[in-house]
Structure 1
């Protein structure tokens, strides 16, 4: 897939998606080349925010608390991508025999990219800005899921997967909310 195709994947059901489905990358390769490196970004940004702006976000939370928070978040987001890949696979397997875990995992990984990148806003110590960008990341992830489910599941017509797509988006949004709570609760209690 070309990097230029990635921007089209937010609005197209085929550009970028067809090529990804055809290449059929193995989940292990996607994990080590995409998921693990980009999952480190939010954890590192949490550490950065704790060291540079910890007093703004959670005055009582010490550096060890920020390190623990980053480690827990990293483990949770890695588990979430694997779980979402499994959910996408199981939901699409009910409808299409050609559904594979690799395709489900790839979709989950690609959809998580905007949320991982939204962690870069922690360079700016402004909670409103951070939350707004995280919500934009979630909306971008939903656009990727909306356009990716039909192709990655092997459907020809979008109408056949509308409910399935919305279900995947709701489950993904719920997982994102849980991950956000993992960060916000310790900050509020710290």
Structure 2
């Protein structure tokens, strides 16, 4: 699979999804090769921003225990992956579509990729730029889930069920993301 195919995943129900499905990479391999390394990116970038920009970024930003916050954030991200895989499987099968646990966890690993990548923008001490990057990443993540459900589910003809399942999954995902951000700000 080449990079252009991966970049089309959020915008097409056909480009790359079947190829990913046929590879049958194990869930532990997906966790170790995709989730663990890429979920390290937000804590590392947040630690960098917190220790280098301080109050220049947001007032009171420098006074936080960043080592503890970023460790908790990393562990919470890993837990979220496992919960979201189970949730995707349950929600999709509840809407009358059919998805295997393998494909549900594959989608749970791919969906947060834009959000993880958006953390690179923390290298720039601009709150507005960071908020815009996260909002754009959230939109791409929603699209990844929608097209992923269309591409990975055995019953793909019902766009309304895929859209409803996407809304439910994204509502849970945004709630989980909100809890992760609350951990960062409340600690």
Aligned to 1:169: 170
Counterpart Cα distance in 1 of 2:151 and 2:103:
10
Measure, in 1, the Cα distance between the counterparts of 2:48 and 2:80.
23
Q: Where do residues 171-186 of structure 1 align in structure 2 (5 Å cutoff)? A: 171-186=172-187
Q: Counterpart of 1:139?
A: 139
TM-score when normalising by structure 2: 0.90
Corresponding residue of 2:63: 61
For 1:33, the equivalent position in structure 2 comes to 33
Paired residues of 2:118 and 2:137 also in contact (CA < 8 A):
yes
Cα distance in 2, alignment partners of residues 81 and 148 from structure 1: 16
For 1:69 and 1:181, the matched residues in 2 are separated by 11
Which residue pairs with 2:156 in the alignment? 156
CA distance in 2, matches of 1:31, 1:175: 18
Asked if 1 retains the 8 angstrom alpha-carbon contact of 2:97 and 2:161, the reply is no
User: Contact 2:49–2:122 at 8 Å: present in 1 too?
Assistant: yes
**Aligned equivalents of 2:170 and 2:62: distance in 1?**
35
Give the distance between the partners of 1:108 and 1:165, measured in 2 at CA. 12
Tell me the residue number matched to 1:117: 117
Question: How big is each residue's C-alpha offset from its partner over 1:72-98, in whole Å with a ceiling of 9 and x where there is no partner?
Answer: 11011111111111100112233345x
- Unaligned runs of at least 5 residues, structure 1: none
Of 176-185 and 66-75, deviating more is: 176-185
Match of 1:24 in 2: 24
Moved over 3 A (4+): none
Aligned to 1:13: 13
CA contact (8 A) 1:155 1:161 kept: no
Structure 1 match to 2:3 = 3
Taking structure 1 as the reference length, what is the TM-score of the superposition? 0.89
The 10-residue stretch of structure 1 (168-177 or 80-89) with the greater mean CA deviation from structure 2: 168-177
Kept in 1: contact 2:53–2:62 (CA 8 A): no
CA drift of 1:156 comes to 2.3
Classify 1:90/1:150 alpha carbon distance in 2 versus 1 (closer, same or farther; 3 Å).
Answer: same
